[in-house]
Amino acid sequence: MNDKTNATRVWLTFFTLVIAVVLLSFGASGLWQGKSEKTEDAAPLVFRDGMTIADFGRANELSNAFLQKAFQLQSKEDTERKLDELNLSRTEIAERINRSRTLEAEYESKNWVKIPLKFALWLLFLSTVFLLMRRKKITPERRKTLYLTAIMLFGILLGSDPSPMGTVKDAIALYGAKGVIFPPRMIALTVFLILVFLANKFICSWGCQLGTLQDLIFRLNRNNQDTKGILRQYHPPFLWSNAIRIAFFLIFTLAAFAWATDLIDPIDPFKIYKPAAISIGGGISLALILIAALFVYRPWCQFFCPFGLVGWFLEKVSLFKIIVNYETCIGCRSCEKACPSTVMGAILKRDRTIPDCFACGTCIGVCPTDSIRLAAGKRSRPPKGKFRTAEGADS
């Protein structure tokens, strides 16, 4: 096929994939019903002199069980105590009630069947991919199949929530707005970070429903060997992408704490798996991100994702990571040229800060001497002059 035909095929496949994801997500959205996480502002609390805790509850439509949790009461009988006996000011009482209401709304908004199921499937799926990569069984076609499986399973069927990004974004937004920490979210974040530590950003690489969608889109615009773009693809310098990501994270955090505003929610690209929640502005930003993914590897992950930033710091100490055996490496740089980002050049030469490595395995597949592997251990540095050009300068 000529270049024009190939380009047309890329665009047709891209639009088919995106439309299919949106339509299937619409169809699957009814599988997991849950209440909205957004809590409406409650009416001012009613206080009267001499009222008991139970009276306070009845006046404000609060159950005894709710009051026991909010005020850490030992038993139902404690609700018959005078409200004044709590030794709390009305402002402190209101703060406790509002925090408890927020936590209750968070709990009620979650589907407690779907969430453990999703985590169990994540662990099973990631373990399978890990074994395939260790055995060097990730081919270009198999990679696309695995990405499509992740999109179907963790995005379309199991929805936009939970997600790696959501654990960081929602934790900051909720604490900034309500001063509340939601314990299950912290547990989920801990699990995700453990997965990053065990195998170099594997949850982002193969489990994240948005990350795998971006990655698959990028691969649609590649040749059959998955080494070069059909339409020109770009590799932005990590210094730029990470600087933007850090700045975005700081601005997002400042807005959450200073103005109780979640800047990401209106443009959250994970809503592609929850299409009914996409606004006009959100739809435009989502379209731009997905189109950009044809030309730039994982643009949301590299430029904006809060979990991507946190994971980048942790992946420096990941147990399993991409490692080069310089004793058998012939310095052909096939891995660097085929890498969808700038990370393999940094890993290979060790001459600059190593960007996010999404452990896609492209470098392993193209190495002619099997010198690259996903393995435990410390990365060594190349012998001096290993990648020196004919002109005598390091390349």
CA distances from 23 to 191, 208, 274 (A): 31, 20, 10
Structure tokens at 134: 């260790």
Contact 294, 221 (CB under 8 A): yes
DSSP letter for 379, please. P
200 by Cβ neighbours in 10 Å (0-12 / 13-18 / 19+) ranks as buried
In a domain, 43, yes or no: no
Structure tokens at 285: 């930003």
Domain boundary among 313, 348, 363: 313
In a domain, 383, yes or no: no
Domain boundary among 282, 313, 344: 313
Say how far apart CA 51 and CA 33 lie, in whole Å. 39
Q: In sequence order, which residues have a C-beta less than 8 Å from that of residue 18 and are 6 or more positions away? A: 217, 272, 290
Residues 83 and 150 in one domain: no
Q: What is the DSSP string of 173-221?
A: HHHHHH----HHHHHHHHHHHHHHHHBTTHIIIII-HHHHHHHHHHHHT
Contact 297, 341 (CB under 8 A): yes
Residues 263 and 231 in one domain: yes
What's the structural domain count of the chain?
A: 2
In a domain, 367, yes or no: no
Residues 102 and 240 in one domain: no
Say how far apart CA 169 and CA 265 lie, in whole Å. 9
Contact 297, 357 (CB under 8 A): no
* Per-residue pLDDT reduced to its tens digit, 117-129: 999 999 999 999 9
* Per-residue pLDDT reduced to its tens digit, 177-207: 999 999 999 999 999 999 999 998 999 999 9
Domain boundary among 262, 279, 313: 313
Q: In sequence order, which residues have a C-beta less than 8 Å from that of residue 230 and are 6 or more positions away? A: 3, 6, 7, 10, 221, 222, 223
First and final CA of the chain: distance in angstroms?
34
In a domain, 268, yes or no: yes
* Per-residue pLDDT reduced to its tens digit, 315-368: 999 999 999 999 999 999 999 999 999 999 999 999 999 999 999 999 999 999
In a domain, 356, yes or no: no
Residues 100 and 122 in one domain: no
Instruction: Give the pLDDT of the chain (395 residues) as one tens digit per residue.
Output: 677 889 999 999 999 999 999 999 999 987 776 555 555 566 789 999 889 999 999 999 999 999 999 999 988 888 999 999 999 999 999 999 999 999 999 999 999 999 999 999 999 999 999 999 999 999 999 999 999 999 999 999 999 999 999 999 999 999 999 999 999 999 999 999 999 999 989 999 999 999 999 999 999 999 999 999 999 999 999 999 999 999 999 999 999 999 999 999 999 999 999 999 999 999 999 999 999 999 999 999 999 999 999 999 999 999 999 999 999 999 999 999 999 999 999 999 999 999 999 999 999 999 999 999 999 999 999 998 888 753 444 54
Per the structure, the complete domain to which residue 64 belongs is given by: 53-109
CA distances from 131 to 111, 125, 320, 374 (A): 31, 10, 12, 10
In a domain, 320, yes or no: no
Nearest to 212 by CA among 89, 323, 298: 298
Say how far apart CA 58 and CA 158 lie, in whole Å. 39
In a domain, 369, yes or no: no
Predicted local confidence at residue 43, as pLDDT: 78
**304: amino acid identity, one letter:** F
Residues 260 and 148 in one domain: yes
Residues 60 and 161 in one domain: no
Residues 61 and 143 in one domain: no
Q: What is the DSSP string of 309-351?
A: HHHHHHGGG-SEEEEE-TTT--S--HHHHH-SSSHHHHHHH--
